[in-house]
Chain A
Amino acid sequence: MTDTAVPAALPRVTRSRRSATWTAGLGVIVVLLLISLPYLVHTNITGLLVNIFILLALATMWNLLAGYAGLISVGQQAYIGVGAYVVLVLAGNGVSPFLAIPLAALGALLVALPTSFLVLRLRNEYFAIATWVVAEAFRLVVLRFPSLGGGTGASLPGMAGMDPVFRQALTYWAALAVVVATLLAAYLLLRSRLGLDLTAIRDNEIGARSVGVRITQAKRIVYLVAAAGAGAAGSLLIISQLNVQATSIFSVQWSAYMIFVALIGGVGSIEGPIIGTVIFFLLQQWLSDRGAWYLIIVGSIAVVMAMWLPRGVWGVVSDRFDLRLFPVGYWLHAPRPNPVETPS
């Protein structure tokens, strides 16, 4: 044989493996099942799922900030509150609260844009506490408007004539839509060029800057997306609770929930907050008749995990089984060694 000059096979690079196809198929089945749930189960269960979806949306967005952009925020409750109050104001002007959900996300994004120019100049601790102070300032400003309910809170108009079962089903579907949109947004964002930029920033910020990654712009996009997600979650909160009170909607407790969920599940992966949310709610249900004990226990677990298992439960699982449900990285497939051709 003369044709021995077989080009040396290059390693093949792909973005997904078979597990991602399974995830997509499984995801569609799970979502279809969840959509049909209000026809199958009692409203108690869908009500609980609404809270789970809200927490998952919040934790996913917090994880996007902390796990990918390196921004530890303790002030996402600022945008939860903005989302809730946008729904309150729009509903007062005759807009259906359900149609107001995307507008709440947009409102939070618009408020986050000027804020980002202040807080994104700051690093680490400064950023964390500045975001918290911004949330506190929003709370104190809202308290100064009696038309927004002041300190006692306001109830959501425009829901009175609605059949409660239908209203709860609609709330559930809205929450499901928000959580699916949040997960998809996080996944697509991380698979885009921006995801690559963020990975570069996370690994070495100075190095990323030197090869032309626009660091502030990348961080700003993540900050705005996270604010929009928190705004959507806030609109779901007012819709499911039918009222809003400034001190509880702007409470730093929300940040605690997001941080605990992300730390337990695993910071820096999309799967982490999903597992973390499940664990958080199992603990909460298990300790439900013990008052504040669940926060003591969940907080202690999160602290211990942050110190000894910084990649959380999902980090352990994915390392052990080499599993990625939402692949945002690249896979390198080493070429099969060519059969050695022997000259005749």
Chain B
Amino acid sequence: MIWANAIVQGILLGGLYALFACGLSLMFGVMRVVNLAHGDFAVLAAYLALAIITGLQVPVLWSALVVAPLFAMVGYLVQRFIIQRSLDVSPLTTMLVTFGLSIVIQNALLTALSANSQSLPSGSLASASLQVNGQMSIGYVSAIVFATAVVVVIGLQLFLYRTGMGRQVRAAADDQEAASVVGVNVRHVYGVAAALAFATVALAGVAFGMYSSFDPAAGPPRLIFAFEAVVIGGMGSLWGTLAGGIILGLAQVLGAQVDASFGVLAGHLVFLVVLALRPSGLIPARVT
């Protein structure tokens, strides 16, 4: 029964990782860019949500309604003015530039807000849980986060495959030049994809702040977990990313069940094994 509980908790934790990962997956799928500041932007979103909650006295879930659109705008601007410029220099430059951004954001947060860890006040939600039986309970927060991850993946799929803009995004992802020949404004479309990715980063940041405490240095581990989820699931496939997040969550929770300090290492080992055996991930990638 302990193991059954661990499996359920692992799957739920996987929802958080999938939420972190789908923005990374989208940006890699469309622009071939891995934003190494991904985790730090999520932490930035968590701090912003904290400021909104304490400043406006609104419940935690409302703060996401402000932070997500704001981050969509930030994402569009970051894509147009920083990532696009680096892409024009060379694809490897985007990695160096976003890594630099990551360090700058971390240290700016550290200077402005100190290294103290914070958490988002979720009120009665934080401790509420559904008691399945004596040994298994499902926290409302983790259930909400998991459901959000599933909704985000479905929403992104619907956007990509059922809307005109989604078709343009897929076209630009397939062949940038051919897309621009037929009239797609590739740079704008990339900006839109980044805006969506950043909106999901904001949601992930708020979810992370409800899940656990965060501090300015919390970003890089989130990036690593997100990247692991994307690779385990197969780069560029959103359903794969959800599956990858769940596999990573399971590996970490089951590893921690063996030995409390083994959890994160178990996740890394699963990632490295997948990378060694199937560098393209477990689920074959689709177009986007």
Pair A307/B90 contact, Cβ less than 8 Å:
no
Cβ of A125 under 8 Å from chain B: yes
Stretch of A139-147, A155-163, A225-233, A272-280 contacting B (4+ beta carbons < 8 Å): A139-147
Contacting pair B272 A134 (CB below 8 A): yes
Select B276's contact among A118, A132, A263, beta carbons within 8 Å. Answer: A118
Given that A295-B104, A307-B97 are known contacts, is A133 also in contact with B34, CB under 8 Å in the complex? no
**Contact mask B188-225 → A, CB, 8 Å, 1/0?**
00000000000000000000000000000000100010
State the majority secondary structure of interface residues on B. helix
Assess the A256–B103 pair: CB atoms within 8 A.
Answer: yes
- As a 0/1 sequence over residues 246 to 290 of chain A, the CB contacts with chain B under 8 angstroms (1 = contact) are 000000110110011001000000000000000000000000000
Q: Pick the contact of A296: B107, B224, B262, B272 (CB < 8 A).
A: B107
Residues of A within 8 A of B182 (CB): none
Query: What's the least CB distance linking A245 to chain B, in Å?
Result: 15
Interface flags, B87-118, vs A, CB<8A=1, else 0 = 00111110111011101100110110000000
Q: Which residue of B lies closest to A139 (CB)?
A: B265
A124 touches B36 (CB 8 A): no
- In this assembly, does A180 line the interface, its C-beta being within 8 Å of a C-beta of chain B? no
Are A310 and B107 in contact, CB atoms less than 8 angstroms apart? no
Q: Which of B104, B111, B271, B275 contacts A299 (CB 8 A)?
A: B104
Asked if residues B95 and A124 are in contact (CB atoms below 8 Å), the reply is yes
B111 touches A293 (CB 8 A): yes
Q: How many residues of B contact A (CB 8 A)?
A: 39
A222 contacts chain B at the CB level, 8 A cutoff: no
Q: How large is the interface on A (under 10, 10 to 19, 20 to 34, 35 or more residues)?
A: 35 or more
Residues in chain B near residue A126, CB distance under 8 A: 231, 275, 279
Is B89 in contact with A259, judged by CB distance below 8 angstroms? no
Given contacts A306-B89, A307-B85, contact A125 B279 (CB under 8 A): no
Query: For residue A137, which residues in chain B have a CB less than 8 angstroms away from its CB?
Result: 265, 268-269, 272
A74 partner residues in chain B, CB cutoff 8 A: 36, 99
Q: Is B111 a contact of A291 with CB atoms below 8 Å?
A: yes
Residues of A within 8 A of B99 (CB): 74, 255-256, 259
A-B CB contact pairs (8 Å), 6 listed: A70-B92, A132-B224, A256-B100, A296-B104, A302-B100, A307-B85
Additional 4 contacts, C-beta under 8 A, given A125-B34, A128-B36, A303-B104: A118-B275, A130-B275, A300-B100, A310-B89
Query: What 4 pairs across the A-B complex have the smallest Cβ distances?
Result: A303-B100, A292-B107, A125-B34, A299-B104
Interface residues of A (CB under 8 A from B): 66, 70, 72, 74, 118, 121-122, 124-126, 128-130, 132-134, 136-137, 140-141, 143-144, 252-253, 255-256, 259-260, 263, 291-293, 295-296, 299-300, 302-303, 306-307, 310
| Residues of chain B at the chain A interface (Cβ within 8 Å) | 28, 34, 36, 82, 85-86, 89-93, 95-97, 99-101, 103-104, 107-108, 110-111, 220, 224, 227-228, 231, 261-262, 264-265, 268-269, 271-272, 275-276, 279
